[in-house]
Chain A
Amino acid sequence: MRLPAIALGLLWAVTVIVFLLLYVPLAIPILSSFFTIAHGEVQWNDPSLGSYAVLAGNAGILEAVTNTLIVGSSATLLASACGTLLALHYCGGKSLAREAMQFAVYLPFLMPPIITGLSLLIFFRETGIARSLLTVIAAHTVFVLALTYRTIVVRLQSIGPEMIEASTDLGASTWQTFIHIILPILSSTLIGAGVLSFALSFDETMITLLVTGTDSTLPIRLWAMMRLGFTPDINALVAIILALTTLICIVAVRLLLPAELEQDG
């Protein structure tokens, strides 16, 4: 649809404002990371990389980053494995029980995180499970399971039964069919869902806050620090995380976007 010039101008104006709203809160800590901070004020005339050096020596933050990576990768692997199993069962037939299972899997994603977090908190207390990094992993797995399960079901349903029937007719066992037919078809879906799950887990704050014990992940550490005000090394950390995520996004887009889009652009 061809837009009149005025309309186009207005649309661009709103878009620019929205991008400013989205990016200024990110730009402030990143810019500050390259300058000296004295008495809580950024010294704009004194560029330095001091905050990066401080970050390298901040054991508390580095431990929180390690915890976050452990939780993220464990939850992603567990949710991918469980999601695949549940999806295989769901696609194995039609029944009310399967629909009920699917509904239950979606619940932690549909409900506000405070509900998911509180119900797990009460459950862990009732069953006498002490809060630790393990309970955080369990909570994150439940949270991202809805996403991995959903993407795998969609992919499985697009295969259709012919491929599996053919494999069985040719004498493959169930296990062989799974390894040689289903898993290769699912591989790209699993990678995509895995990246997204990891990203969700990396920044999950509200559920984690309720189910964590003394070990804190990065968002929890930041939340605890925020009341006192951030030290300069947090700015450096933000800059590094943003640089890494942007890089991963660029690579992902290069790899995943179909080639025909590249041409008509």
Chain B
Amino acid sequence: MIFVGSARVGFWARLLAAFSYGLPVVLIVAPLVSFLAYSFFHMEGGQIVTDVSLVNYKRFFTDTIFIPILFKTCLLCMAVALLAVLIGFPVAFLLSNLKGRRRYFMLLMVLVPLLMSYIIKIYAIRSILGGSGFLNRFLLWTGVIDAPLTFFVFNLNAVLLTLTILLIPFAILPIFLSLERIPRSLLEASSDLGASASQTFLRIVLPLTLPGIVTAATFVFVLAIGDFLTPQMVGGQSGFTFGRIVYSQFGAAFNWPFGAALAIILALVVIVMIALGSRLEDRGT
């Protein structure tokens, strides 16, 4: 749009075009292509062999540990998404009912924790959840329990709780935005026509925020399934997730081609989830 009406600008326009295609091709497309290529290679005696084969994918489908872990990880991340939406919705709803400056102040308060170091938050949550952590000591001190609880100590439950706490803001924001977009006149019309608050909520507010809820759930799911640090920190021995397995192929296990193949499978799961989410959103509107 900037190059109009002048013949001399042809050169600069072509230069801009070259840069605009060159940058993403070099720094985004080429890395993804080499990544995809690696998934068809394999390791032999500590060396990467560049013969194209499906051996990594075959291992994923035939070995009995990978598919169950992927399935378990998907369930875990769906639970995180569901939990985050369930507790995020009331907060978003309350915020959207506040007036003026208070509404945006509260929204900001929801978002401020996102700016804080993610590692520090995991560490703090870890010190709360541990066997002799703050939570257990508090419950013992109040006399609610006699012995330290163990169901949230360094296992999948701990991963579930930690991820939910870390990702709640990502659930609140899209729901808040879709609640805010509902015209006041619709709510007034509904109550003028004799609907009770709960009827207005169920028949007007909830259907109109469905796209926001779906966006929130997709967001949280994608962020949760890609996270390999949280499970590593609070998951302990039993809290093995798919992301951790992928990451370990690039560290201790040192099998880059297999890790690349596993990551491609993870990417496919994410693409399917995003596609499902946008289908649901389209149907909601």
- B-contacting residues of A (Cβ < 8 Å)? 1-4, 7-8, 10-12, 14-15, 17-19, 21-26, 28-29, 82, 85-86, 88-93, 97, 101, 104-105, 107-108, 110-115, 118-123, 126, 138, 141-142, 156, 161, 164-165, 168-169, 173-174, 177-178, 182, 199, 202-203, 205-206, 209-210, 218-219, 222-223, 226, 230, 234, 238, 241-242, 245-246, 249, 253, 257, 261-265
Please state if A164 and B200 are interface contacts (CB–CB under 8 Å): no
Nearest 4 A-B pairs (CB), nearest first? A112-B226, A265-B100, A265-B101, A123-B31
Select one of A2, A88, A112, A203 contacting B225, CB under 8 A.
A112
Please state if B4 and A168 are interface contacts (CB–CB under 8 Å): yes
Select one of B97, B101, B120, B267 contacting A111, CB under 8 A.
B267
> Nearest CB to that of A123 among chain B residues?
B31
Given that A164-B1, A205-B119 are known contacts, is A22 also in contact with B169, CB under 8 Å in the complex?
Answer: yes
Given that A112-B266, A118-B259 are known contacts, is A205 also in contact with B2, CB under 8 Å in the complex?
Answer: no
Select one of A25, A28, A86 contacting B23, CB under 8 A.
A86
Please state if B2 and A164 are interface contacts (CB–CB under 8 Å): yes
Please state if B101 and A24 are interface contacts (CB–CB under 8 Å): no
Select one of A24, A112, A226 contacting B270, CB under 8 A.
A112
Please state if A122 and B100 are interface contacts (CB–CB under 8 Å): no
Chain B residues with CB below 8 A from A263, complex form: 100
Interface residues of B in 227-246 (CB under 8 A from A): 227-229, 233, 243, 246
Select one of A85, A118, A121, A234 contacting B19, CB under 8 A.
A85
Please state if B5 and A261 are interface contacts (CB–CB under 8 Å): no
Chain A residues with CB below 8 A from B222, complex form: 110, 112
Please state if B226 and A206 are interface contacts (CB–CB under 8 Å): yes
Chain B residues with CB below 8 A from A2, complex form: 191, 197
Q: How far is the CB of B127 from chain A (nearest CB, A)?
A: 7
Please state if B187 and A22 are interface contacts (CB–CB under 8 Å): no
Please state if A92 and B24 are interface contacts (CB–CB under 8 Å): no
Chain A residues with CB below 8 A from B28, complex form: 104-105, 107-108, 142
Please state if B5 and A168 are interface contacts (CB–CB under 8 Å): yes
Q: How far is the CB of A122 from chain B (nearest CB, A)?
A: 5
> Nearest CB to that of A222 among chain B residues?
B119
B55 at the interface (CB under 8 A from A): no
Chain B residues with CB below 8 A from A110, complex form: 222, 274
Main secondary structure of the interface of B (DSSP, over half): helix
B40 at the interface (CB under 8 A from A): no
> Nearest CB to that of B233 among chain A residues?
A226
B252 at the interface (CB under 8 A from A): no
Q: How far is the CB of A240 from chain B (nearest CB, A)?
A: 12
B147 at the interface (CB under 8 A from A): no
Main secondary structure of the interface of A (DSSP, over half): helix
- A-contacting residues of B (Cβ < 8 Å)? 1-6, 9, 12-13, 16-17, 19-21, 23-25, 27-32, 34-35, 38, 87-88, 90-91, 93-95, 97, 99-102, 104-105, 108-110, 112-113, 115-125, 127-128, 134, 165, 168-169, 172, 187, 191, 197, 200-201, 205, 222-223, 225-229, 233, 243, 246-247, 250, 256, 259-260, 263, 266-267, 270, 274
Please state if A245 and B116 are interface contacts (CB–CB under 8 Å): yes
Chain A residues with CB below 8 A from B5, complex form: 165, 168-169
Q: List 12 A-B contacts (CB under 8 A).
A: A8-B94, A28-B124, A85-B20, A88-B16, A107-B28, A111-B267, A114-B246, A122-B34, A156-B1, A165-B5, A222-B123, A253-B104
> Nearest CB to that of B243 among chain A residues?
A114
CA distance in complex: A22, B109 (Å): 9
Chain A residues with CB below 8 A from B94, complex form: 8, 11-12, 14-15
Please state if B99 and A122 are interface contacts (CB–CB under 8 Å): no
Chain B residues with CB below 8 A from A3, complex form: 97, 197
> Nearest CB to that of B195 among chain A residues?
A1
Chain A residues with CB below 8 A from B9, complex form: 174
Please state if B112 and A246 are interface contacts (CB–CB under 8 Å): yes
CA distance in complex: A85, B12 (Å): 12
Of A18, A114, A138, A210, which is in contact with the most chain B CB atoms at under 10 Å from its CB?
A114
